[in-house]
Structure 1
Amino acid sequence: MSIREMSKKIVLCFLLTSCTYSINAQVKDSLSFIKSKKMSDDDLLKKREGTFATGLPDFSSDPVTGFGFGIRSNFYWNGERTNPLFAYTPYLAKLKANVAYYTSNARELILSLDVPYYKGTRWRFKIDFKAQQNPANLYFGSTESTVGNLRLPSDENTTFSTYAAFDKARKTLRPGGVGEAAFVTDALSNRFRETEYMLNLKADYALGNGKWRIMSGYEIQHLSYKTFEGEEADAINPITGEETSAPNGFSLLQRDYDQGKISGLEGGWISILQTALIFDTRDFEPDPTKGYYFEIANEYSSKYIGSQFDFNKLFIQARAYQKLPFGKRTVIAGRLGIGNIFGKNAPFFEFQDQWSPEGSINSLGGKQSLRGYRANRFLARSLWFTNVELRYRIAETKLGKQRFAFGVAPFFDAGTVRDEWQNLNFKNIKYSYGLGARVAWNQSTIISFDYGISKEDKLFYVGIGQAF
C-alpha cells in the first residue's frame, strides 16, 4: 500500500469514527443546545446525504507571479438524514484542500479540517495548515496617510486618483538615485514576496443553549520576506512611450523598514495564542437565510510564548442575515468590523489582516473587505469597515447527484483606517459598490463572482465562499 493510499484511509477512518454514532433518544436530547441552528425546511429538503467532493480548477495570470494553475476542492461528510445532527450542522466534517503553482515559482498548499459538534458534543475542532510563497503582495504604507491618493514610492509629492494612472507612472523610467541603476522603474516597488509556513489548532465549546461559544487556539508560523530592488521589471520609455524593461528601484517596504517606520521585514518565528467569544444563531453557516453572528477575537504574541514579536490584536465583528418576503430565497446580509493592533513594535505583516475564527480578513481592501480597491490598499493600526449585500436567488437545477443554485448579489462596502483607535470616526471614508453572482454547489460550496467599483479602480474577483 502506498503512503498516499494509507494516508487517505487514515483520514477516512478518523472522520467516520469521529462523526458516526448511534441514534437514540438520549443522543437527540443531548442536542437540545443547538435547536436554534436548525436549517430552514427548504434548505433541509435539498441538503445532500453522504460523502461527496466539490472542486474547481484554478487558473490565473499576473505580471509578477506569471501563469498559475491548481485546484480548489472540498470534501464533505454530511451523514444520513436519520443522523440527529443532519438538520443542525452544515456538515459533520469538511476537509478543504487547495493547491496552486505559478511559473514564477510561486506556490500554495492549504489543508483545513473542520469538525463541528464532535460526536454530537458541544466541542468543535479545526486544524489548518498552509505552505505558500506569494511574490505579488502589495504595500502602500502602514499609516492613516494611505487613505489619501496613491503616491509614487520615489515621489510622494505627486498623487494619482486612479490606479491605472498610478500604475503607468510607476512603470515610467526615471533617473536612478543613490544605490540604484542609472535608469530604473518602480513597477515592483509596491510589491514584496512572502513565504509562509503555518499550523493552526483551534477548539471551541458551546455554552448554555448553544448560541454562545468560547474558542481558544494556538498558531505557529515562520515568515520570510523579499523585496525586488534591482530585478528586471516592466518599464515605459517617457520619450517614445514604448514598453521596455529596466532594473527596479528601491521598494517602499524596504525604505520604510530602513527608516524605522515599520518592523518585521526580517521575518522569523511567530507564536500566537488565540481566544474568542462568539454568539451565533445562523441557520446554515456557508449561506445563511437568517440569524446573527457576533465575535470578540484576540491574538496574543510574545517572547514569553516563543515568538520573535510582541503584539496584541483585537477584532470585533457583527453580522446579520434576514430573509425578505419576496423571491424564492432573498436575503439581506450585513457586517460591521472594528479592529486594533496593540504594541509599539507590532510587525508590518500583522497590519495586513484581521484575525477571525471564521477566517482572516484582508484590511483594508480586496475581496474580503473593500471590493473595488486592491488588497491591503489602506493599512493602519486601527480600522472599521462595513459590508451590505442583497442575495437574490434566480434559479435552481439538479444535474445527476449534483444540485446547483444561481443568484445575484449587489453589494456596498465602506471603511477607513486610523493610527489610533480613539480617532476612528466617519471622516475620509472609502467606499465601493458592485454586483456579485453566486453559484451554490450542493449548498455548502458557494462560488462567488464579484465586480467591485471604486473611485480608484474596477476589479473582478472569483473565489469559493461568501465574503461574509
Structure 2
Amino acid sequence: MSQLKLIKKILFCFILTISTYSINAQVNDTLSFVKSKRMSDDDLAKKREGTFITGLPDFSSDPVTGFGFGLRSNVYWNGERTNPLFAYTPYLAKLKANAAYYTSNARELILSLDVPYYKGTRWRFKIDFKAQQNPANLYFGSTESTLGNLRLPSNENITFSTYEAFDKARKTLRPGGIGEASFVTDALSNRFRETEYMLNLKGDYAIGNGKWRVMGGYEIQNLSYKTFEGEEAEAINPNSGEETTAPNGFSLLQRDFNQGLISGLNGGWISILQTALIYDTRDFEPDPTKGYYFEIANEYSGKYIGSQFDFNKLFIQARAYQKLPFGKRTVIAGRFGVGNIFGSNAPFFEFQDQWSPEGSINALGGKQSLRGYRANRFLARSTWFTNIEIRYRIAETKLGKQRFAFGVAPFFDAGTVRDEWQNLNFKNIRYSYGLGARIAWNQSTILSFDYGISKEDKLFYIGIGQAF
C-alpha cells in the first residue's frame, strides 16, 4: 500500500472516529439533561417503534365554523427502543398535514414539521405553514365592555342574557338606516371573513439541565378581511315569525373601524419576531401524566422588520400535571395564562389570540379558553384565564397494531378581560364548565369531545389534541 493511500485511510478512520464520538457525545449530553422527562413505565411499554402514520377523516364540530370534514394526518418517526432518546421524547420527528372544509364555507390547509432534540442535540426546530379562509369569525367588540350582556349591533340599548335570544333578535327584520336597504337583518353583523397565509420558523435551545429552553422565531403573514353589508342573509319576519332572507345591515366591525375604535380591517403584511423563555418538565408532551410547563412569550411587530403594524404582545402561561392515586391513569391538569398587547397601532385581529410556542390560544371564549362561550366573545387589550381538568382513563384496547385508550375529562374554565393590564383582577369573571371525552390513538394523537356550559350558552366541540 502506498504511503498516500495509507495516509488517506488513517485520516478516514480518524474522521469517522471523531464523528462517531461527536454524535455519541451529543446524545450523551442530551441524555444528561432529559432524565426528568422520562415517560412512565406504563406509557413506555406501549410506545410504538419505527415510522407510522395516523390519519383519520376530520369530522370536527365547532359552534362557530360549523361541521367540518377533511383529513388530519400525522407521520411519526419514533425510532427504535435501542435509541437512547426513545424513553425521553414523544417522537424523533413529526410531520402534520391537515386539510379541512366546514359547512360555514371555512377552509384550511396546515403543514407542520416538529423535530425535538435534532440529531441528539439540545436544539428543537419547528416549521409551520397555514393557508386558511374563514367567513365565520365573530366580533363583539374589543374592550372590556364585552363582559356585559350581548347587545344588538343596531341598538346597543337592547341586551340579551342568552345567545339563543340574541341570535333570534339579530335575524328579526328591522327598518334600514342610512346606507342600508329598506328592511335588513343583522344575522351577519357580528361576523367577518379572514383570509390568511402564514409561514413560521422557530428554533429553541435547551440550557443547563434541559428544563429551561430559550426560543427564537420569525413569522410572516398576509391577511385580508371582509364584512357582509348588503349580502343576503337569514331573516325572520317580525309579524308572522316566518323565516326569510334579506340584505344584511351594517357590521359592528366596520362601524368600529369607521369610528377609529380599531385598526387593521384593511389587512396587509405582518412581520413578527418571536422570543420565549420556557421551563418544561412534562413527561409526555401530547398527554402528560406529570410535570410543569411555564413560558414567557413575546411577539414584536414593527416597520423596521417590514410590518405594516406596530405592536408588542406579552403572554405568560403556567401549566401543571399530576397523576392522582386512583384509577389506572387519572391526571389533574391545570393552566393559568395572562397576556397584554402594547402599542397604540395594534390591529384588532391581534386581540383575538395569545401567542405561545405551543400554539396560539384563542382568547377569550371558544374551545381553547372558555368552552361555554363563543370564540372571541370577550376581547380587550389585557386578559387572564384558567382551566382545570381531571383526565380519567376508563379503558384501553389494541386493534391490530393500533392502540386506543378511552377516558373522560370534567373541566372548569374561567377568565376575564381589561382595557389596561393594571386593572386585571379577580372581579367580573366569566366561567364555564362541562364534560369532555378523550380517545388516545397510539398515545400521541388525542381525539377530544367537549361539551361546555355557561350562563349564556351550551356548546359542543370535536377536535384533535388536548385543550392544554
Same fold (TM over 0.5): yes
In 1, Cα distance between equivalents of 2:234 and 2:295:
44
Query: Which segment drifts farther, 206-215 or 73-82?
Result: 73-82
Number of the residue aligned with 1:7: none
2:443 is matched with which residue?
A: 443
Could you report, residue by residue, the CA deviation over 1:186-220 in whole angstroms, capped at 9, with x for unpaired residues? 00000000000000000000001100000000000
Distance 2:231 2:68 in 1: 21
> Which ranges of 4 or more aligned residues in structure 1 deviate by more than 4 Å?
20-26, 60-68, 102-105
Report what 1:97 is aligned to: 97
Aligned 8 A contact 1:144 1:419 in 2: yes
Alpha-carbon distance between aligned partners in 2 of 1:65 and 1:339, rounded to the nearest angstrom: 25
**How many residues in Structure 1 have an aligned counterpart in Structure 2?**
449
Matched residue, 1:402: 402
Pairwise CA distance, 1:23: 8.6
SS of 2:33's equivalent? helix
Q: 1:146 to 1:213 in 2, by over 3 A?
A: same
Q: Does 1:196 align with 2:177?
A: no
Measure the CA separation in 2 of the matches of 1:104 and 1:255.
23
Q: 1:420-455: per-residue Cα shift (whole Å, max 9, x none)?
A: 000001111000000000000000001100000000
Relative to structure 1, the CA distance from residue 61 to residue 34 in structure 2 (aligned partners, 3 Å threshold; closer, same or farther) is closer
Deviation, structure 1 residue 28: 3.4
User: Which residue of the partner structure matches residue 460 of structure 1?
Assistant: 460
Contact 2:139 2:192 (C-alpha < 8 Å) held by counterparts: yes
Counting only pairs closer than 5 Å after superposition, residues 134-213 of structure 1 correspond to structure 2 as 134-213=134-213
TM-score, scaled relative to structure 1 = 0.93
- Is the CA contact 1:206–1:213 (under 8 Å) kept in the aligned structure 2? yes
2:281 counterpart of 1:281: yes
Deviation at 1:65, TM superposition (A): 6.7
**Contact 1:64–1:135 (Cα < 8 Å) also in 2:** no
- Is 1:31 aligned to residue 40 of structure 2? no
Name the aligned partner's letter for residue 354 of structure 1.
Q
State the percentage of identical aligned residues: 91
Q: Do the aligned partners of residues 61 and 276 (structure 1) sit closer, same or farther apart at CA in structure 2, a change above 3 Å counting?
A: closer
1:177/1:60 Cα in 2 relative to 1: closer, same or farther (>3 Å)? farther
Q: Secondary structure at the match of 1:336?
A: strand
Counterpart AA for 2:384:
W
Counting only pairs closer than 5 Å after superposition, residues 186-335 of structure 1 correspond to structure 2 as 186-335=186-335
Q: 1:82 to 1:277 in 2, by over 3 A?
A: same
One-letter identity of the residue aligned with 2:363: S
CA-to-partner distance for each residue in 1:40-90, whole Å, 9 max, x for gaps?
111000101111111221246899978753111111111110011110000
Query: Is the deviation greater in 46-55 or in 190-199?
Result: 46-55
Contact 2:315 2:338 in 1 (8 A): yes
Q: Which residue in the other structure is 1:368 paired with?
A: 368
The answer to whether structure 1 residue 381 and structure 2 residue 378 are counterparts is no
Paired with 2:247 and 2:21, the residues of 1 have a C-alpha distance of: 63
Q: Distance in 1 between matches of 2:151 and 2:360?
A: 27
> CA distance change for structure 1 residues 158 and 123 in 2, over 3 Å: closer, same or farther?
same
1:42 aligned counterpart, secondary structure: helix
Instruction: Please tell me whether the aligned partners of residues 21 and 119 of structure 1 are also in contact (alpha carbons under 8 angstroms).
Output: no
Asked if structure 2 preserves the Cα contact closer than 8 Å seen for 1:110 and 1:131, the reply is yes
> Counterparts in 2 of 1:16-55, with a 5 A limit?
27-28=27-28, 30-55=30-55
Amino acid at match of 1:142: S
Tell me: CA distance 1:412–1:106, structure 2 relative to 1, closer, same or farther (3 Å).
closer
User: What is the alpha-carbon distance in structure 1 between the residues aligned to residue 23 and residue 345 of structure 2?
Assistant: 54
Are the equivalent residues in 2 in contact too, given 1:381–1:420 (CA < 8 A)?
Answer: yes
Q: Aligned-pair RMSD on alpha carbons? A: 1.8
In structure 2, C-alpha distance between the alignment counterparts of 1:127 and 1:334, rounded to whole Å: 28
**Equivalent residue number for residue 132 of structure 2:** 132
With the length of structure 2 as denominator, give the TM-score of the two structures.
0.93
CA deviations on 1:346-368 (whole Å, 9 max, x unpaired) are 00000000000000000000000
Alpha-carbon distance in 2 for matches of 1:462, 1:280:
28
| SS at 2:34 equivalent | helix
Structure 1 residues 146 and 55, CA gap change in structure 2 (3 angstroms): same
Q: Is the 8 A contact 1:191 1:228 kept in 2?
A: yes
Moved more, 28-37 or 106-115: 28-37
Distance in 2, matches of 1:31 and 1:412, equals 37
Structure 2 Cα separation of the partners of residues 187 and 36 of structure 1: 53
Structure 1 453/21 Cα, relative in aligned 2: closer, same or farther at 3 Å? farther
Per the alignment, residue 7 of structure 2 pairs with none
- Stretches of structure 1 lacking an aligned partner (at least 5 in a row): 1-19
| Partners of 1:55 and 1:353 in 2: CA distance | 28
Residues 425-444 of structure 1: pairs in structure 2 closer than 5 A: 425-444=425-444
| Structure 2 Cα separation of the partners of residues 127 and 318 of structure 1 | 24
CA distance in 1, matches of 2:183, 2:21: 69
